[in-house]
Amino acid sequence: MENKNKSNSNLLIYQKYLELIYYSNDIVRKYPKSEKFALVNEIKSILYTGLKNLMYAVKLYSKSEKLKYLNELDINLNILKVHIRLSYKYKYITMKNYQTWSNLITDICNMLGGWITSCLKK
């Protein structure tokens, strides 16, 4: 039963992460052309690297290997938060966009924290 529960929570974080990608892609389309190859490119790169790390973590059985990818995903999400703050500061996004985007990331970070904690238990 516990194994099934873990796969369901892993699936949930995956679905939430896809939701983050969809939302992010919709938002960055509205950025000025001057940012298309800078900030937009960086945001997309971080998102897809994070997705790759998430997929590795889901597939691996070794807790230490899994932790490596989960920690990388955590770092990616923290960098993404900085880019979102910059986007708001430069007025590329509204306060509502900033809050929605931040909430999506916070939800994923909370799930990720639980997953990391479960991997650290023996």
3-state SS of the chain: helix, strand, coil percent to 5? 85, 0, 15
CATH topology of domain 2-120: de novo design (two linked rop proteins) (1.20.1440)
d(Cα 55, Cα 53) in Å, to the nearest integer? 5
* Whole-number Å distance between alpha carbons of 99 and 103: 6
Indicate whether this model's pTM tops 0.85. yes
Listed residue (5, 6, 13) closest to 108, CA to CA: 13
CB 16 within 8 A of CB 111: yes
Average pLDDT over residues 8-28: 92
Q: pLDDT tens digit string along 40-87?
A: 999 999 999 999 999 999 999 999 999 999 999 999 999 999 999 999
